[in-house]
A and B are shown apart, each in its own frame.
Chain A
Amino acid sequence: MTREEPAGADGTSPAPARHRPSWWRMLGRDRAASAAAVVLAVTTLVALFGRLVIGDRAQRQDLDASLRPPSLGEGVYGLLGTDVLGRSVLARLVDAAATTLSVAVPAVLCSLLIGSALGLWAGYHGGRRESVAMRVADVILSFPSLLVAVVVLYVFSPSALNLVLILAVARIPVYLRTARAEAAELRSRLFVDAARTFGTPGREIIRRHILPIALPTLLTVATLDFCFVMLTESSLSFLGIGIQPPDVSWGLMVAQGRQYLQTAWWITVLPGLAIVLTTVSATVLAAWARIATDPAQRWRLTLPVKRRGASAAVPPEMIP
C-alpha cells in the first residue's frame, strides 16, 4: 500500500485565509480601549481648540468668587468650582491641557525616537557599539534628572522649548535600555538569522524584524513615561523654572492648589484626575495596540471580553 502524496496536498489547510479585521472593528469590540480612545481624542481636541472657546476665561479673576466649590448653579465655568483668585477651574483645565500636552508630547516623542533608535542599533550590533551606548545611558541616569533640569533651566531661560529638551534628554536612557534589551534578544532569533542569510543589511533587519516587535513595548513604556514627564514638568513649574505663570499646566495647577488641599480639594484633585485619566487611557490604548498589531493575537480582540486571557500591558522588567 503505497501512497503518493499528491503535489499540493497538505490536507487540512484551514478554509479561507484569515484577513485582518478592521481596526475599527477591533477597537469597537474592546470597551476599555474604545473608552480610552475617546478620552484621548477629547483631550487632544480640547488642547487644540479649547483656547478658542474659552478666550481669556482662564486668567479672568473674580475675588468675590474665590474658592467656590463645583456646582451646577454657576453656569458652565462654575461647573468645576473656582480657585483662590476666583478663576474658573474648568477654563484653567482647558487652558492647561494645551500647555501640558505641548510640553509632554514633544518631550516623550523626542526621547522615544532618539532612545529607541540608539537602543535598537546598539542591541542589534552588540559589541563595542552596545557598550558605548549603554555607558552614555548610565551617565545620563547617574545624574538626578531633576537636579540637572534645575541647573540647566536656571542657567538658560526657563522656556517651554528648553523644558522639552531637558526632559527629552533625561528620559532617553529609559527607551535606550528597553530597546537594547529587546533588540539583543531578537537578534539571536532564527528569523533574524534567516534574514542575514539573504544578505539583508543591518538597518533593514532592524526596520523589518526588530522594530515591529519591539515597538509595542516601547510605546507602552512611552505612555508610562508620559505620566512621569507631566509630573516632572509640574515639579519644575512649582520650583518656578518650568511653565511660567500666567501660563498654566496641569502639574502647575496641582502644585499651586496644594496649600488649599484641605479647604478646596477640587483645585488639586481635578487637574490630578486629568493627568491620571490621560495616562491611563494612553496605557490602555497601548496595550490594545500591542495585541492588535500581533497577527497571532489579534483574533482575541474579536471575542467577547471575558473570554480573553489576561495579558499584561508591559512585562514587569520593562518598567523603568
Chain B
Amino acid sequence: MTDVSISTTPSAPDRAKRVSLISSDARTEKRKSAERRFRMYGIAGIATGIFFLIVLLVSIVSSGTGAFQQTFINASVYLDPSKLDKNGNRAIEDLRKVSTFGYTPLIQQAVFDKLEQNGIETPLQKRGDMKALISASAAAQVRDVVLANPDLIGETVDFRILASSRVDGYLKGRVQREDVARDKNIDAEHLDLVDALVPLGIIEKTFNIDFITGADASESRAEAAGIGVAMIGSFFMMLVVLVLSLPIGVAASIYLEEFAPKNRWTDLIEVNIANLAAVPSIVFGILGLAVFIQFMHLPQSAPLVGGLVLTLMTLPTIIISTRASLKAVPPSIRDAALGVGASKMQSVFHHVLPLAAPGILTGTIIGLAQALGETAPLLLIGMVGFIASNAPDGIASGLLDPNSAMPAQIYEWAKRADPAFYERAWGGIIILLGFLISMNTLAVILRRRFERRW
C-alpha cells in the first residue's frame, strides 16, 4: 500500500502552489471579467428583444392613434329643392335619381358661405375651389340623410361633413407645406384657408367612430375608410373556426389520448399533427383555394371558406393543447370511475373531460387568437383586393357573402398608394391587437382561476 507508484511521482505543478483564496491572481481576474462579459451578452440579448418590442409598440401607437381621429367641416347645407327635387313632390323614386353629383355643388356652396360669413380673405374665389377641402364621400353622406328624411329638402341643415384626406393629413402633420407643391390635390392657398378655419371651429378634428364601425372606401377616399365590416367578416370566420375546431379538436384529442391503441395508424396521426402545426400558413391557403374553391365551388372571399381554412390551420394547435390538459388529469380519476363500473367512455366524458375543460378552453382561445391574426391564407381565397362595402344582414349572408377580415383589410390598406391609408392600417392594427390582448388576457385569467395542481 505504501509503494503506490503514482503518489511517489508528483508532477511539477502538483502541490506546488498553495495560493491564498483571498488574493486573486491575474488569471482569475481575467476569468471574472469574461464572466461579466458573458452575463452582459445575456442582458444585451434580452434588452434587444425588449427594445424591439418597445419600438414596435411605440410605432404602432404613435402611427395608429391618428386613425381614431378625423377632420370634419361644420357647414350648413341648403338643400335646394330646385336641384334635389325638380318635380317638387318629394317622391322617393325621384329623389333617388339625383346622384351624388347633384349634392356636391350644394356642399361646396355651404363651405364657401362659411368663408363669407366669417369674412375670411382668400384668393380662392370660386365655389368649386372648395372641392379640395371636402371629402368625396361628403355628397353621399348628405344624400343618405336626405333620402332617409325627404322633408328636409328646402331647409338649411347643419352637417358635420368629412374633410378631404389632405386636410386631415395637414392637421395631423402627415401633409407638410413643403410637400403640397408637388401635390395636385391641394395647394398652399387651401392650407391657409384651413389654418383660418380651424380656430373658428369650422374645421375640427374629433373622435371618429366611423373608423371602428364603418366600411372600407375606395382608393381616393382614405378619410372615409373604416374597419367595421372587416371586423364582422373576422367575427363570422372565428365563429366557423370555433364551431368546427373545438369539437373536432377535442374529439381527436380524446381519441389520441384516451383510446388510441399504439399502432402505425396512431403514430401516423401523431406525426401528422406535429408536422401540420409547422406547415407554413400559405400552404393552407393553397389547400383552401384548390379544395374549397376550385373543387367544391364554394364562393370566393366568403368568411365560411376563410373559417374552414383557418380551422384546418388551428386544429393542430388545439389538439396539442387539449391533449396536454387531458394528460394533466391524473390516472387515479379514471381508475376511480372505472372502479365503480363506469365504461371507459363514461369515465372520460363524465370525469376527465370536465376536469380538463378549463385547459381546453384556454388552448382554444389562444388558437382562436392565432387564427384571428392570420393573413396569408386569406389572400389566396380572395378575401382581399375588393371593397367590403356593406355589413351583412344575417347569418347566411355573413357566412357566404364576400367580405374581408381585419388582417386582410390591414394588408389591403398597406398596399394602397396613398399614405393616408397607412394611418388606417396602423389604426386597424391597434384594434386587432386590442382583440388579441383581450383574448389572451381572458385565457390567462381562465388558467389562473381554474388551474388545478394535482
**A and B are interacting partners:** no
Which residues in B have some Cβ–Cβ distance to A below 8 Å?
A: none
Which residues in A have some Cβ–Cβ distance to B below 8 Å?
A: none
